[in-house]
Chains A and B, each alone.
Chain A
């Protein structure tokens, strides 16, 4: 079956621009997570959705970052006024439930480069 997909795979933008990154989770997975991975580092948690609502957004670095999941499936991570420091791979993961024993399945990521 289809795994987690993310689009675009690569995004190059200029400083100050607005970007949207899309995540299509595995069908039936109620939990969805966004992570950011800088070069040579492990992923860092950004936000967690259970259904349509953001259950935990404590990892969002500032108010330029926002994410939505209006119908409880596809999610969009939105970054306003991008900065060079936002350059990273943005990973999305989904799981059947939000419990700690539910395996998170990761997408291939979107590589964002801010020039």
Chain B
């Protein structure tokens, strides 16, 4: 069964600090991995996408890494801001001839405080 596990479940950091969120997956056959940001009461918004051959991808203060051998990914947030408070969801796509079958992690709830 395809699974995506994320850690930590929740995290509180001070504004300006860095943090790293982890994602382990068992999805086959692997197509790509995305990190989504989901604000409370909103739908998820894609931050980065990485394919099998990509090791790292940046989007502003967000940097995602992928190790396809160990099936692990991380999302690093630099110089956190209050607006970074949200749930961060790791989503892995399995190759499919007709559809993008996504497996979602349960998310890491990040709270950035003053």
Contact = CB atoms under 8 A, between A and B. Distances in A.
A102 B100 contact: yes
B105 A42 contact: yes
Interface string A47-90: 01010000110000000000000000000000000000000000
A101 B98 CA distance: 12
B104 A109 contact: no
A25 B101 CA distance: 19
Contacts of B42: 108-109
Contacts of B75: none
Given A42-B89, A91-B43, A93-B43, A104 B99 contact: no
Interface stretch (B13-21, B44-52, B55-63): B44-52
B109 to A, nearest CB: 8
A50 B49 contact: no
B96 interface: yes
Contact of B102 (A45, A55, A99, A108): A45
A100 B104 contact: no
A1 interface: no
Interface in B2-39: 4, 31-32, 34
Interface string A1-37: 0001000000000000000000000000001000100
A98 B98 contact: yes
Contact of A42 (B95, B96, B104): B104
